[in-house]
Amino acid sequence: MEREESRMAPNDAHDRVDLDGMKPDEIIYDWNTVERTGPITRDKIYVLDETLRDGLQSPSVVNPNLTDKLMLVHTMDELGIDVADVGLPGSGQKAVDDVAGICQEIVRSKLHIRPACACRTLDRDVEPIIEISQKVGIAIEVLAFIGTSPIRRFVEGWEAYRMYKLVRESIQLARRYNLPVTFVTEDTTRAKPDTLFPLYHVAVEAGASRICLSDTVAHSTPDGLRNLVRFTKNVIQGMGKEIGIDWHGHNDRGLGLTNALHAVECGVTRVHGTALGIGERCGNVPIDQLMVNMKLLEIIDNDLSKMVLYCKQAALAMHWPVPKNYPVVGEDAFRTSTGVHAAAIRKAHRIGADWLADRIYSGIPASMFGLKQRIEIGQMSGESNVLFWLEQHGFPPRKSIVRRIMDIAKQSDRVLDDVELEFIARRYMNESDDDYEELF
């Protein structure tokens, strides 16, 4: 069937597709929107990039040099990422120097992205952030964290009154220098309500403008997340304050991205992630996948055409291998060698519907990232794969070429490379007799 259909050409006007007057649900039925009465959220949702802080806690990465960090921050800015956690100055002089260099670049280049720094709720961790802010002349958001789960408190031997004192004093110190503060409750998803309730009150009264819920060891399921966000919103409402809520997730259970999207649905207004999900143990929420899904769900309207570049920059700078099947960025993300898939994509192209060709076998349009669907030729391929490749590379669709390529592909145990295909096409392009007859 495929062999016959591949010869059909759209000669009549009615064979061509005009998508201008069509509604999206006439060409793609979207079960994701069934019974949805409106958008997932009407709130402005912000994105905080943790690549240069939490991402560097992975034991398998290289800490990039300052030039590479500046490159990454510039691309974050082009992607419309709102905030970048640029380091932990309390960890040592190199971190101080790098944070200062990044903040200077943000000021010098007039970038829109805002810098933030993580710190423990200790004055000696907050002070370097204040010093850098004063020196560079830019407000640096303070992400002040303290462990809150019973297991963490037990191991550390923390008494409640001591925790309240540390939180209050560190936040007040940052606020004296007009630095915005987000209070980060580490391991929030395993913390007791009677621990979180007073800590939230202490932090907000001391001047924190946001509270970050952290799934530090990826304990949470969507149900747990929903319960925690509801509890936090109720506490904030009881205080009568306008306090933003962050979600900081990890991926040990493989629920990182799912939880982050659920967090937005539940009322969180800022979500954290790292490039390619790089981070300690099984990593963080992949900020690239997060933003792609937020774009498709119409939560954000950022231009994501530089997303592939950003992920490749991060992979290069941090010596991180990208799996071939990684969404959007992986080598196979928009690549197929299957005959049925190739036939459908080619038909869409031939009736003038590039929009359709980009979606017929892809839940994410490659064009969103400046890419195209790629059709390869291998053992599972049909004539459509070969014809598409020949058309894309300027070769005539002759029987002689198609037959030779198909014979070689069916005997191969891998996908053929463009160099091999070009050699075969040139080698058999001038075969005689009926092999010159074109295929349609």
Strands 46-49 and 244-249, sheet pairing: unpaired
| Cβ proximity of 82 and 114 under 8 Å | yes
Query: Mean pLDDT throughout 247-269?
Result: 97
pLDDT in tens, 42-62: 889 999 999 999 999 999 999
Asked if residue 91 and residue 222 are part of one domain, the reply reads: yes
**41 lies in a domain?**
no
Q: How confident is the model at residue 37 (pLDDT cuts 50, 70, 90)?
A: low
Among 290, 318, 346, the domain-final residue is: 318
**30 lies in a domain?**
no
Asked if residue 10 and residue 97 are part of one domain, the reply reads: no
E strand or H helix at 186 = strand 181-186
Asked if residue 342 and residue 277 are part of one domain, the reply reads: no
Asked if residue 381 and residue 314 are part of one domain, the reply reads: no
**33 lies in a domain?**
no
Dist CA 126 CA 116 (whole Å): 12
pLDDT surpassing 90 at residue 295:
yes
Asked if residue 238 and residue 95 are part of one domain, the reply reads: yes
**Residue whose C-alpha is closest to residue 18's, from 354, 345, 372, 343:** 354
Dist CA 319 CA 62 (whole Å): 6
- What percent of the chain has a predicted confidence (pLDDT) above 90? 69
Question: Encoding tokens for residue 130?
Answer: 């204040």
Residue position matching structure tokens 């903040």: 103
Query: Mean pLDDT throughout 281-289?
Result: 97
Mean pLDDT score of the chain: 90
CATH number, domain containing residue 299: 3.20.20.70
pLDDT in tens, 130-140: 999 999 999 99
Q: How confident is the model at residue 19 (pLDDT cuts 50, 70, 90)?
A: low
Helix then strand then coil, % of the chain, to nearest 5 = 50, 10, 40
Asked if residue 305 and residue 355 are part of one domain, the reply reads: no
More confident residue, 403 or 87: 87
**281 lies in a domain?**
yes
Dist CA 195 CA 67 (whole Å): 42
Q: How confident is the model at residue 97 (pLDDT cuts 50, 70, 90)?
A: very high
Residue position matching structure tokens 């190199």: 94
Residue-range definition of the domain harbouring residue 147: 46-318
Q: Return the axis-axis angle of helices 93-108 and 66-78, rounded to nearest 10°.
A: 40
Among 293, 318, 343, the domain-final residue is: 318
- Would you state the pLDDT for residue 357? 85
pLDDT surpassing 90 at residue 223:
yes
Q: Which residues pair with 246 in a beta bridge?
A: 212, 270
Asked if residue 309 and residue 346 are part of one domain, the reply reads: no
Strands 141-147 and 181-186, sheet pairing: parallel
E strand or H helix at 206 = helix 193-206
**92 lies in a domain?**
yes
More confident residue, 158 or 129: 129
Q: How confident is the model at residue 32 (pLDDT cuts 50, 70, 90)?
A: confident
Question: Encoding tokens for residue 43?
Answer: 């709130």
Asked if residue 313 and residue 346 are part of one domain, the reply reads: no
Q: How confident is the model at residue 427 (pLDDT cuts 50, 70, 90)?
A: confident
3-state secondary structure 285-317: CEHHHHHHHHHHCCCCCCCCCCHHHHHHHHHHH
Q: Tally Cβ neighbours within 10 Å of residue 161.
A: 8
What is the identity of the amino acid at 431? E
- Would you state the pLDDT for residue 38? 66
DSSP string covering 260-271, please? HHHHHHHT--EE
Asked if residue 216 and residue 346 are part of one domain, the reply reads: no
Distances (CA, A) of 20 to 3, 17, 29, 83, 98: 31, 9, 17, 37, 50
More confident residue, 150 or 28: 150
- Would you state the pLDDT for residue 391? 86
| Cβ proximity of 268 and 245 under 8 Å | yes
**231 lies in a domain?**
yes
Dist CA 314 CA 61 (whole Å): 10
Dist CA 169 CA 119 (whole Å): 13
| Cβ proximity of 141 and 179 under 8 Å | yes
Q: How confident is the model at residue 31 (pLDDT cuts 50, 70, 90)?
A: confident
Among 266, 286, 318, the domain-final residue is: 318
Q: Tally Cβ neighbours within 10 Å of residue 349.
A: 19
Dist CA 172 CA 174 (whole Å): 5
Query: How many separate domains does the chain show?
Result: 2
Asked if residue 369 and residue 221 are part of one domain, the reply reads: no
Asked if residue 107 and residue 12 are part of one domain, the reply reads: no
Query: Mean pLDDT throughout 371-395?
Result: 89
Question: Encoding tokens for residue 168?
Answer: 């209050």
Distance of CA 52 to the CA centre of its chain: 15
Dist CA 105 CA 44 (whole Å): 27
Asked if residue 194 and residue 139 are part of one domain, the reply reads: yes
Question: Encoding tokens for residue 46?
Answer: 């912000």
DSSP 14: G
**255 lies in a domain?**
yes
**60 lies in a domain?**
yes
| Cβ proximity of 361 and 346 under 8 Å | no
